[in-house]
Amino acid sequence: MFPKSEGGFILMDILLTISVMILMTVIIFPSMKYIMNYSNDLSLYREAKTILDIELTQYASKPILEDEEYSIDGISTTFTFNILLENNKHLACIEWYEHNIKKERWCKYAPNN
């Protein structure tokens, strides 16, 4: 084996360092992407719940005569709010897309007037 010099690195040290950095990059980047997507999904759910609660509060003070649907611009996406008559109760739903691919929907019954 070659003796290690006191003043610097040998080629094997540099190759080992680069290979460890590449291995860490290959493992960490996909994990970070998954964590960021999961965090974005949670924030969309929180925003949808807040919008749905606000809209239901507004509908509690006025009579609902017919089905309605309209869009609401959120912080990071557009939500679709609709209220439907179902079994003599009003069902309020909010819909949005996660990552512009998967459609999500959250529904609650509106309080009786």
Provide the pLDDT for residue 96.
92
pLDDT per position as a tens digit, 100-112: 688 999 998 877 6
Indicate the burial class of 64 (C-beta count within 10 angstroms; 0-12, 13-18, 19 or more): middle
Average pLDDT over residues 11-32: 90
pLDDT digits (tens, 9 = 90+) for 41-74: 899 999 999 999 988 888 777 766 778 889 999 8
Task: Confirm if 56 and 92 have CB atoms less than 8 A apart.
Answer: yes
- What pLDDT was estimated at residue 86? 76
What is the average pLDDT across 5-12? 72
Give percent above pLDDT 70 in the chain. Answer: 88
Which pLDDT does position 20 carry in this prediction? 93
Nearest Cα residue to 91 out of 69, 62, 61, 71: 69
Q: Is the pLDDT of residue 91 over 60?
A: yes
Q: Taking all residues of the chain, what is their mean pLDDT, rounded to a whole number?
A: 84
